[in-house]
Amino acid sequence: MSTVLLRRANQHLLGIETLSALDIRQILARARILRDAPEQVHGVMAGVPVITLFYESSTRTRVSFEMAAQKLGASTISISASSSSVTKGESLWDTGRTLASMDPGVIIIRHSSPGAPQLLAEAMESVGNGAAVVNAGDGAHEHPTQALLDALTLLDRLDSLEGRTIGIIGDIAHSRVARSNLFLLRKLGARVLLGGPRSLVPKTLEPLGARIVRDVDEIIEVADAVMMLRVQFERMQGPPAFPSLSDYTRTYGLTAARARRMPPQAFVMHPGPMNRGIEIDPEVADGPTSVVAHQVRNGVAARMAVLERAMDVDGWSSSKDL
């Protein structure tokens, strides 16, 4: 395979907000093929270096990306902030330029600062490198591959998202998963209801197409699926945003009693990591309405599709049918 061809149209994936509904459908369609027809998986990325540059800790996302890359034949190199030049005070800009000079195919970045993947992409472009940057989560901004794997999971159960109601409950303010899902679900025609403590559910998200519902029971009773999010204490500053964990669970948690009020076909999602007993009852998390394990499985396929798109394998985006 010609590396010249490969580098021609590498595409960043910085967020869902900038994707079209068509882009999203193409990625999902390809992910389904890669998942359901493994014979379609070729080593299209053989010899391509894929770097995972993680400034924040992660288990599932990093492993999922690395597995996706390896299934496509890529060689993966992982860099953690704790073992890199960051500890020596190197700026993200300089790190980007340094890595770009080594000519990788894809850099997958996770960072606590919103917008860091864009800065990295700009740094790499500044040295004329065509590597694609894939956002694996930037602060409270976006986590596009999580939204894609969530959509894949939703569409495994629902024919279409058009007119469907999806609830997202929990610490919305600090959640990149909530933002990416909100953008994606709206683009595919779903109604999005947000719930959780008012102090963690910014009303400024309403102009983006969400509806905030004060009473989480109202969401649970109508939603086709509910996504439960954990409280991100590590991102909080100042005093606690709600009185106590037991208060939180009582008012906003998906307890077994609440789960029983879900419509018959409705199901429960969680992007992890899960705080069992706080936002979700263990019984519900492991129960028949939970699709959490399925989400994780879909993660690898969604990320394979994203990596293929990033490398523009076989003129990928133009040739795929929906």
Nearer to another protein, 92 or 147 (CB): 92
Nearer to another protein, 210 or 311 (CB): 210
CB of 203 to another protein, least distance (A): 9
Q: How many whole angstroms from its chain centre is CA 56? A: 15
Nearer to another protein, 70 or 113 (CB): 113
What are the angstrom distances between the C-alpha of 152 and each of 155, 258, 270, 291? 5, 25, 14, 12
With beta carbons less than 8 A apart as the criterion, state whether 191 and 285 touch: no
Structure tokens at 18: 């900038």
Read off φ and ψ for residue 75, nearest 5 degrees. -100, 130
90-124 per-residue burial string, b: 16 or more CB within 10 A, e: under 16: eebeebbbebbeeebbbbbbbbeeeebbbbbbebb
Query: For residue 158, how many other CB atoms are within 10 A of its CB?
Result: 16
Nearer to another protein, 45 or 177 (CB): 177
CB of 116 to another protein, least distance (A): 5
Nearer to another protein, 109 or 268 (CB): 109
CB of 163 to another protein, least distance (A): 25
CB of 200 to another protein, least distance (A): 12
CB of 301 to another protein, least distance (A): 26
Name the nearest CA neighbour of 138 among 91, 175, 106, 173.
175
CB of 39 to another protein, least distance (A): 40
Q: How far apart are CA 94 and CA 90, in angstroms?
A: 6
Q: How far apart are CA 158 and CA 298, in angstroms?
A: 15
Single-letter code of the amino acid located at 189: G
Q: How far apart are CA 230 and CA 169, in angstroms?
A: 9
Nearer to another protein, 11 or 298 (CB): 11
Q: Which residues bind another protein (CB under 8 A)?
A: 17, 91-93, 111, 113-116, 118-119, 138-142, 176, 179, 202, 204-205, 207-208, 237-238
Nearer to another protein, 15 or 49 (CB): 15
CB of 135 to another protein, least distance (A): 11
Nearer to another protein, 45 or 116 (CB): 116
- Rama region for 305: left / alpha / beta (φ>0; ψ in -120 to 50; rest): alpha
CB of 122 to another protein, least distance (A): 9
